Amino acid sequence: MREFSRRGIVGLGIGAAAALSVAGCSSSGSSTSDKVGTKPGKTPKGKPIGDGSTAYTGKQPNQPPAPEKLAPGQKPPQFVVFSWDGAGEVGNGLFPRFRKLAKEHNAAMTFFLSGLYVLPESKRRMYRPPNNPVGSAAIDFLTDDHVKATLKNLRAAWLEGHEIGTHFNGHFCGDGRGSVKHWTPAQWNDEIEQAMSFVTKWRTNTGFTDVEPLPFDYSKELVGGRTPCLLGQDNLLPTARKLGWRYDASSPGGLQVWPDKKQGVWNFPLQAMPFPGHSFEVLSMDYNILANQSKSSTKAPPANYPGWRKQAAGAYIAGFQRAYETNRAPFFIGNHFEQWNGGIYMDAVEEAIKHIADEKHKDVRLVSFRQLCDWMDAQDPKVLADLRRLGVGQQFTGRG
């Protein structure tokens, strides 16, 4: 079974025993009105945009109701965002697996699409990565069949209510000149323009005639992303703000506290969460758990898998419970469609989703980053400022 190449991924230890390794790569509540529907319904007929790779089909279906403004002292909902870096379907069934799971639990997610995953390898020289050779990339290009599968899953995901963001293109990490760590705002703008072009011109680039268009205008749909290896945010943000992006999810080493804006853009970082069996915490992404468990090996001895799977699921669940039972800070989880160490991290994510969506947890909302932006933007700034004063694990004491 083919896996994505992650040659560019790095781990950066922060805190005790490399506690936080940095890698790049809906609502379930007490009332029906709080839930994000995920029934796709009939396939909409849209107005083609450009070469017909995308089409305007109207307002995105299966979205939550308009956000309600919290009153001062009112307990907020518990938001949880599951996000996916790369968002390619390579025949391992992971994209449809988690779409199905989201549907079963009234969840919306964010899929950060790598633009190269809709560009055929035969056209790789169309990609001109900043500070790197033309046509190069630190991830694999997909086969034509996998490009088709990715497009079909992206289409279905959007109709089910999920968000399509960006993971940019070539996934260049490390410390060298070619790394996204050193890209200028202008180079980030070039990278985004190329990603936009690959998504909006896939029909021209592939020649496919048997795949339906993506049912959205990507120039309006794209309002946020996550950088490779969580690098380069400071230089990305001026460009993101200029483009009208609403958020960025690239910051590493965040804490489980209420988010704020950075350079005028909502900053939704991956967060330090409890790591069962350890005195240090781990970043809320599958790769970072792996880095601490197997020293970044994706094919460690299978005897370790049951214990590691339990530990990974326990970390996600502990992070959720800490926020849910105390300050109600939104909880952000990042993943990859990978079969690392026998697929245990995918199983751990599934277990966490089922736990979080359990009906015993009242007023929990599994949403996309875009939906979270909608809620945050609707709130009184003074109420948000009060929530931001709550530290990690600090009890919410208002009414609720």
- Are residues 286 and 336 in contact, defined by beta-carbon separation less than 8 angstroms? yes
Q: What is the pLDDT of residue 1?
A: 27
Instruction: Identify whether 9 is part of a domain.
Output: no
Instruction: Identify whether 94 is part of a domain.
Output: yes
Q: What is the pLDDT of residue 400?
A: 56
Instruction: Identify whether 370 is part of a domain.
Output: yes
Query: If you count them, how many residues does the chain have?
Result: 400
Instruction: Identify whether 13 is part of a domain.
Output: no
Q: What is the pLDDT of residue 43?
A: 59
Query: How far is the CA of 235 from the CAs of 66, 139, 322, 340, in angstroms?
Result: 33, 22, 33, 31
Check residue 317 and report its DSSP letter. H
Instruction: Identify whether 20 is part of a domain.
Output: no
Instruction: Identify whether 399 is part of a domain.
Output: no
Q: Is the pTM of this model over 0.85?
A: yes
HSE, CB side, 13 Å, CA atoms: give it for residue 181.
Answer: 15
Domain count, the chain: 1
Check residue 78 and report its DSSP letter. E
Instruction: Identify whether 395 is part of a domain.
Output: no
The DSSP-derived string for 38-52 is ----SPPP-EEETTT
The DSSP-derived string for 168-182 is -SS---SSSTTSGGG
- Residue span of the structural domain in which 263 resides: 32-40+47-388
User: CATH number of the domain that 162 lies in?
Assistant: 3.20.20.370
pLDDT in tens, the chain (400 residues): 222 233 223 333 223 333 343 454 532 333 333 333 334 445 567 899 999 999 999 999 999 999 999 999 999 999 999 999 999 999 999 999 999 999 999 999 999 999 999 999 999 999 999 999 999 999 999 999 999 999 999 999 999 999 999 999 999 999 999 999 999 999 999 999 999 999 999 999 999 999 999 999 999 999 999 999 999 999 999 999 999 999 999 998 899 999 999 999 999 999 999 999 999 999 999 999 999 999 999 999 999 999 999 999 999 999 999 999 999 999 999 999 999 999 999 999 999 999 999 999 999 999 999 999 999 999 999 999 999 999 999 999 987 5
The DSSP-derived string for 326-385 is TT---EEEEEES--HHHHHHHHHHHHHHHHHT-TTSTTEEE--HHHHHHHHHTS-HHHHH
Instruction: Identify whether 165 is part of a domain.
Output: yes
